[in-house]
Amino acid sequence: MLKERVDLGKKIIFLASAVLLLTPLASFGQAESGFQKGEREFTIVGSGSSDESLDNTSLSASFSIGQFLTDNLEVALRQEGSYIDLEDDDDWAASTRLVLDYNFGRGPLVPMVGLSFGYLYGDRTEEQFIAGPEVGLKYFVNAMTFIYGLVEYQFLFEDVDDVDEVYDDGRFVYGIGLGLTF
């Protein structure tokens, strides 16, 4: 019962934080967006956590750099990395992926869908290929700056022959970050 109360408390804190962080977005107005062939995009996400004495720290970051091949189709290189510092040990892991995304429409909200393919590596990470679909939403706060959310489904495999067998055993990866077009 105590665990259920703690879980409920965490959910309430998460929702309240999300509302407080997202409320200022309403004041930005309706920024018009629209990608153009040849335009570039840069995105960044970061997160971290530590226990109460600032030990057992976990840090992660992700960034991507992309270019629009058409007004809607973007190719990007995405790099993610994480570092975990435990009391007796530390560990790092990373992934590098090539991404192809299709961005729908113009306006302040731009949905997107895409595919990614890359490689996962690290200290204690089993090095292997990763691939899968992704969906996201970009909210433009002005003509060049947006806040975005992204959900990826990644399946891991060592050989292309394994793809049919491992697709159902993948993982979800979530991110909320900032982006710039230039």
* pLDDT tens profile 29-42: 456 667 899 999 99
Reported as a single tens digit per residue, the pLDDT across 125-178 is 889 999 999 999 999 999 999 999 999 999 988 876 665 566 567 899 999 999
Dmax (CA) for the chain in angstroms is 56
Residue type, 118: G
Give the predicted TM-score (pTM) of the model: 0.76
The span from the CA of 69 to the CA of 171, in Å, is: 29
Cα 58–Cα 61–Cα 64 angle in degrees, nearest 5:
165
**Residues 51-102: tens digit of each pLDDT:** 888 888 999 999 999 999 999 999 999 999 999 988 788 899 999 999 999 9
